[in-house]
């Protein structure tokens, strides 16, 4: 189907099977999330042609790259795929400029689609172009690796945990660049990660894998708040809200964000009024009450309606709330659920203790 990437792969390994059948958009960033061993990297290797599945079909934007029923399988060099690994894998005998030029040479007839100067600007590489790769920091090397991938004008960009080998400081340097890439790129990106906060900040579509199978696939917020995906129901449980900066309190270093469910105040000066931001709120950071507290240190107390209640087993339970047009997850104890006598449709107040904000 035009406008999508249609994927069907069956792989049999000793002790592990991959069996996936999914469709993702042919534009934008799709997160592939799952625990270690879920099959994420095997899926990417099949997409790149690096692993031959027992059975497979891959159609990218209407073009059939692989179809085992007709013995069709484009070789790796004809798939126009760029693959970014956990490690940068740069060419040591070339400087940064040489690595980027190599990527552009791989673009072939698609070279006119590449604006190498724009890519250099995007990843802030001007001061590194003449540097040898062994003199780059981990974060600098990964920026070059991603930029080289883009210089090849790929029709499909695969990113396999590109931040996993970096420390927190280097990750914070690269994340804003990946967000910029997400907003500007016109090709499908499949972004593998086992970090749901990272995935939620970057992607608009989410595929969840477990045991070699796709257990959820769809729009990011819908999957995150689906309540029926065990992989996301544990400590990873949470939701995202896309908001707009409405006010800055420079004196207290606070930013007010507006969304359909009201306003939230978050620490820090984040952008200018009118800037769009994404908020990631963990279910463990949301508590519920029937009446507005008189004195509290929590700045965000918002009206909400109970939309769904998770399985009443174990010590805690997930509650899905609706705030305007948005959904929010809260994790409360089963005792609190019984004590408040919560049921679907109840109107109450959600206290949001903290949130992670990405601009």
For each of the domains in the chain, give its residue range(s) and CATH number, in order of start: 4-228 (3.40.50.300), 238-358 (2.40.50.100)
Q: Starting from the edge strand earliest in sequence, which strands make up the sheet with 28-33, in order?
A: 81-84, 156-160, 188-193, 28-33, 205-210, 213-219
User: What's the rounded Cα separation, in Å, for the pair 158 and 214?
Assistant: 18
pLDDT on residue 352: 95
pLDDT on residue 343: 96
Going by C-beta distance under 8 Å and a sequence separation of 6 or more, which residues neighbour residue 121? none
CA quadruple 192, 355, 225, 231: dihedral positive or negative?
A: positive
Q: In angstroms, how far is CA 338 from the centroid of its own chain?
A: 35
Query: Which helix (H) or strand (E) segment is 10 a member of?
Result: strand 4-13
Q: What are residue 48's DSSP bridge partners?
A: none
Going by C-beta distance under 8 Å and a sequence separation of 6 or more, which residues neighbour residue 195? 163
pLDDT in 10s for each residue of the chain, 359 residues? 458 999 999 999 888 999 999 999 999 999 999 999 999 999 999 999 999 999 999 999 999 999 999 999 999 989 999 999 999 999 999 999 999 999 999 888 887 888 899 999 999 999 999 999 999 999 999 999 999 999 999 999 999 999 998 998 888 889 888 888 877 888 899 999 999 999 999 999 999 999 999 999 999 999 999 988 988 988 889 999 999 999 999 999 999 999 999 999 999 998 899 999 999 999 999 999 999 998 889 999 999 999 999 987 789 999 999 999 999 999 999 999 999 999 999 999 999 998 888 76
DSSP at 90: -
SS3 for 236-277 is CCEEEEEEEEEEEECCCCEEEEEECCEEEEEECCCCCCCCEE
Quote the tokens at residue 23.
């469709």
Model pTM greater than 0.85? yes
pLDDT on residue 312: 76
């Amino acid at each position: 189907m035009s406008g999508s990437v249609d994927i069907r792969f069956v792989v049999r390994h000793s002790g592990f099977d991959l069996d996936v059948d999914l469709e993702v958009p042919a534009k934008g960033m799709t997160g592939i999330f799952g625990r270690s061993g879920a099959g994420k990297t095997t899926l990417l290797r099949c997409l790149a042609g690096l692993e031959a599945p027992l059975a497979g079909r891959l159609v990218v934007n209407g073009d059939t790259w692989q179809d085992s029923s007709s013995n069709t399988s484009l070789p790796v060099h004809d798939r126009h795929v760029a693959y970014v690994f956990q490690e940068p894998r740069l060419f040591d005998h070339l400087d940064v400029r040489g690595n980027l030029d190599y990527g552009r040479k791989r673009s072939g007839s698609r070279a006119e689609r590449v604006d190498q100067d724009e890519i250099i600007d995007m990843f802030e590489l001007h001061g590194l172009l003449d540097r040898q790769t062994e003199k780059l920091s981990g974060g600098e090397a990964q920026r070059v690796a991603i930029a080289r991938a883009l210089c090849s004008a790929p029709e499909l960009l695969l990113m396999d945990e590109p931040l996993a080998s970096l420390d927190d400081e280097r990750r914070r340097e690269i994340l804003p660049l990946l967000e910029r890439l997400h907003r500007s790129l016109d090709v499908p990106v499949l972004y593998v990660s086992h970090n749901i906060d990272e995935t939620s900040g970057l992607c608009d579509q989410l595929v969840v894998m477990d045991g070699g199978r796709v257990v959820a696939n769809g729009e990011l917020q819908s999957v995150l708040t689906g309540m029926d995906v065990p992989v996301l129901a544990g400590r990873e449980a949470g939701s995202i809200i896309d908001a707009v900066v409405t006010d800055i309190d420079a004196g207290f270093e606070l930013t007010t964000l507006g969304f359909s469910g009201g306003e939230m105040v978050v620490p820090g000066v984040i952008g200018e009024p009118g800037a769009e931001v994404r908020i990631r709120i963990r279910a463990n950071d949301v508590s519920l009450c029937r009446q507005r507290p008189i004195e509290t240190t929590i700045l965000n107390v918002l009206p909400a309606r109970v939309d769904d209640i998770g399985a009443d087993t174990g010590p805690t339970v997930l509650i899905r709330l609706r705030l305007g047009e948005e959904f929010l997850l809260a994790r409360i104890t089963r005792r609190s659920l019984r004590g408040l006598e919560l049921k679907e449709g109840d109107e109450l107040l959600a206290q949001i203790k903290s949130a992670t904000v990405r601009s």
